Amino acid sequence: MSILRLAAWVAWKDLRLELRTRQNFLTTLLFAFIIIVVFNFAFDPGSRAARESAPAILWVAFLFAGILSLANAFAMEREEGCMLGLLLAPVPRGVIFLGKFLANLAFQTAVETLILPIFVVFFNVRFAGGFLPFLLVVLLVNVGFVAVGTLFSAMTMGLRLREVLLPILLFPVIVPVVIAGVKATALLFQAPAAPGWIHWVKLLAGFDLIFVVVCYAVFRFVVEEAA
């Protein structure tokens, strides 16, 4: 059975579980919404400062909400000991990573899709640079963020301090992704759209490629003891 198909099955299992409970999804959604609302109060409504900070606030909301849900990505494996089942199976360890990664990616994208309209309404945003380029940026940021986040989530899975350890592990490493995401978004909000967003897209694509591969390769050291 090919690696992708096996990973797809692992992802299917996680998405099924999430659809059943919806608990993680709803709380993450609510958290992102709250961040956007609260940050709104930091600015005078409709002011230039508010408009210029909009991209930053959007990504703060997306990433902080994302980190909270990533912290629980392996909750089932931890609580019910289900990781054992996955490790006993005759699948390469990287498949477990890929499956979780795909499920988390779908989850993150779904949350963002629902938050985006609220954001557009509150900040009166116009996608002068085109909506599709913006979607591309969001997707690329998600891939990088979720890839490294899934790896570190597995690492902190059994640790007492995981809720604070995951952010401090993850955020310094995804600095390039944050910069690229916010900058590209800012460029795409401008009217007329400034060129140059494409450079950030290239950076994101490079980051994604490197880190999906690296995280896939080192995942096994996080879930099993080598020598």
Where on the chain is the footprint of another protein (CB under 8 A)? 1, 6, 9-10, 13, 16-17, 20-21, 76, 80-92, 148, 151-152, 155, 159, 161, 165, 168-169, 172-173, 175-176, 179-180, 183, 196, 199-200, 203, 206-207, 210-211, 214-215, 218, 221-222, 224-227
105 versus 187: smaller Cβ distance to another protein: 187
- Is the Cβ–Cβ distance between 162 and 74 less than 8 Å? no
The one-character DSSP state at 33 is: H
Alpha-carbon 123 to chain mean position: 22
107 versus 200: smaller Cβ distance to another protein: 200
Q: How far is the CB of 91 from another protein (least distance, A)?
A: 6
Q: How far is the CB of 108 from another protein (least distance, A)?
A: 19
Q: How far is the CB of 87 from another protein (least distance, A)?
A: 6
Q: What is the DSSP track for 190-202?
A: SSSPPTTHHHHHH
Distant-in-sequence, close-in-space partners of 207: CB < 8 Å, separation ≥ 6: 144, 176, 177, 180
Residue 24, both tokens? 């993680």
86 versus 135: smaller Cβ distance to another protein: 86
Please give the Cα distance from 93 to 62 (Å, whole number): 29
